Amino acid sequence: MKKIVLITGIFITGLFSSCNNFDDALESQAVSSLEESTVFSNLDLTKGAVDGIKIPFGETNSYRGRFLPWYGFNTDSEWYNSSETAGDKSDLCVYDAKPNNTEMNTANNAWAMMYQGIERANLCIRGIRTYGNPAAGNEMGYLLGEALTLRAIYYADLVKAWGDVPARFEPINSQTLFAAKSSRDLIYKQLIQDLGEASDLVPWPNGNAATTNVQRINKAFVKGLRARLALVASGFQQYPDGIRRSNDPDLSVANMYALALSECTSVIQSGSAHLEPSFETFWRKYNQENTAAGGESLWELPFGAGRGRMLFTFAVNHTSIDQFQANGSNRGGVAGPLPHVFYDYDVADSRRNVTCVPYRYGTASNTVLTNGFPTAKQTLVGLNRWYFGKYRYEWMTRRVISTNDDGVNKIYMRYAEVLLMAAEAANELQGPAAAAPYLKEIRRRAFDPSLHAVKVDAYVDALASKEAMLNAIIEENKFEFTGEMERKQALIRWNLLGTKLTEAKAKMVQLQQRTGNYADVATTLYFKYDTDNVSLIVYGLNHGETTNPGAAYTAFSWNNLTDAKINGLVKAGADPDNRQFWPIWQVFLDGSNGLLVNDYGY
């Protein structure tokens, strides 16, 4: 069961996103600094202060309602389901965001909330170092490691979404209220250093009372995040002077891949985390809000029961309040897999039907009740609109009743990513044979044991070159993580964003026209209801299922993928490789005393 933490660190100031509150800001900051010796010499007050670093995650226009619902689209496997509809929401996804975007251009947007979280972390880090006597093995040491890691999370997401941003690693004072952008290379180096320190201070999952729950920081997550940032820092990305790798020798591929491999193998060898035996079991546990540490989830961005919109945004769509949820009408389904992705999976891959769902729950009947609630049935939607099956109200153990929030956490990292990062780094440094065990472990979970000889061992052993292995890892990343909004950053660092988006459009054209790899996909599906009269039994979804299965089934047209829908993946005339990052929103440019500017032609 999820544990809701009460925040006691009310003394901490936020970051001030404009100059309008300059005097109040400095006055509040002075009061805070006077209290630091009291707060950070007291363990309970320090715990409250560190918990306070997390408050900005849940603010309305922060991660909860703006960053998580919109960052990460569109890729070669995921998109905003209304991408073809012109507007500021789709602009965020189709590589045409503008500084005055109405969804984002507010003073309390995610940018401001991330810096508020950073400021809270900076105050805690300074206070604990000065007054708390932190050390590995004591509680103040753990809290310092947690604060360092939470700050790294905010910064990792800032750099992921905006590229170069102001670097603030000390609390604000009158001289530093305004700041220009810093090189992301310097930020990455600081984060990698900080996470190295944090990993020495926090225990493995279940190593102390705090780390029994994945809503608190543990060593496995810290090391995994450090590996992720090492790969990103050394990868390709758009700089103001073009797409390239970093010129900083400290962030070379050789250095960063060695670091990533070391951190990943440390997590793997620790035995402190593991894959769930079943892919579906893992996602059922997630929706059931099982946050016990020591399994596959390494850390989750925590939301209280009345905050957070993961299912509200991404779940299989529910047309109305029904037997599974009272969250409201038309909940879930804002985004989903691209139509061709289901057909790219091996038919035997257990991840396919968990990830890609072709139905929604229709309008509930008030005359047919389930457990006293109106009953909705599954209903097919159309080839052009799929849903992420990783997020399901119907798998929850509580019935959501909030109108705008569901309270389900965001999984920030899971053990599967550690295995795939280890495979990638080992392949780069040591060759495909060194990478094979990690890739095999991922695929063993995806396929039934009776298929392991062919789908796991023979498949992986045939990847004889570094290029072949890397390409397989890139594909495995898609099959494993579609719907988790991690793909975009990975494609950027592989220098494949534009290339893969072009390939995705070509695949959708082939699917539309039933050519190439999709020539044997049916244009008509056939369905009937299972004995519960709610769940669909569908014939025609698999390759080659093109015959009519009989009178017991009802026909459904599976042929509505239009040119407009396909072309909506990327805005006409937009170049994804020239729009890898969002622009800084106008309100923050205007409040920066002229120090912040947009690059990349914005």
Beta carbons of 114 and 17 less than 8 angstroms apart:
no
Measured CA to CA, the distance from residue 54 to residue 304 in angstroms comes to 11
Percent of the chain at pLDDT exceeding 90: 93
Phi and psi for 271 in degrees, rounded to 5?
Answer: 70, 15
**Single pTM value for the model:** 0.95
How many helices and strands in the chain, by DSSP H and E?
A: 21, 15
pLDDT tens-digit map of 197-224:
999 999 999 999 999 999 999 999 999 9
Q: Which residue has the higher pLDDT, 306 or 139?
A: 139
Average pLDDT over residues 15-30: 36
How far from the centroid of its chain's Cα atoms is residue 573's Cα?
27
Torsion on CA atoms 194, 200, 206, 210, rounded to nearest 10 = -60
The β-bridge partners of 525 are 556
Q: What is the mean pLDDT of residues 584-589?
A: 98
Instruction: Render pLDDT for 73-118 as a digit per residue (tens, 0 to 9).
Output: 999 999 999 999 999 999 999 999 999 999 999 999 999 999 999 9
Q: Which pLDDT does position 305 carry in this prediction?
A: 80
Cα separation, 199 vs 86, whole angstroms: 45
- Residue 9 pLDDT greater than 50, yes or no: no
Q: What is the mean pLDDT of residues 468-474?
A: 98
Q: What is the pLDDT of residue 35?
A: 85
Q: Name residues whose C-beta falls within 8 Å of residue 255's C-beta, 6 or more positions apart in sequence.
A: 234, 249
Sorted by where each starts, the structural domains of the chain and their CATH numbers stand as 1-83+95-202 (1.25.40.390), 310-406+516-566 (no CATH), 417-515 (no CATH)
- How far is it, in rounded angstroms, from Cα 253 to Cα 215? 32
Tens of pLDDT, residue by residue over 358-398, are: 999 999 999 999 999 999 999 999 999 999 999 999 999 99
Average pLDDT score, the chain? 94
Q: Which of 237, 222, 94 shows the shortest CA–CA distance to 162?
A: 237
Digit-coded pLDDT (tens) for 258-284: 999 999 999 999 999 999 999 999 999
Report whether pLDDT(13) > 70: no
Residue with tokens 């016990």: 292
Note the pLDDT of residue 4: 30
pLDDT at 210: 96
What are the structure tokens assigned to 505, written together? 């459009």
Residue with tokens 């459904």: 556
Instruction: Give CA–CA dist 112/14, Å, rounded.
Output: 9
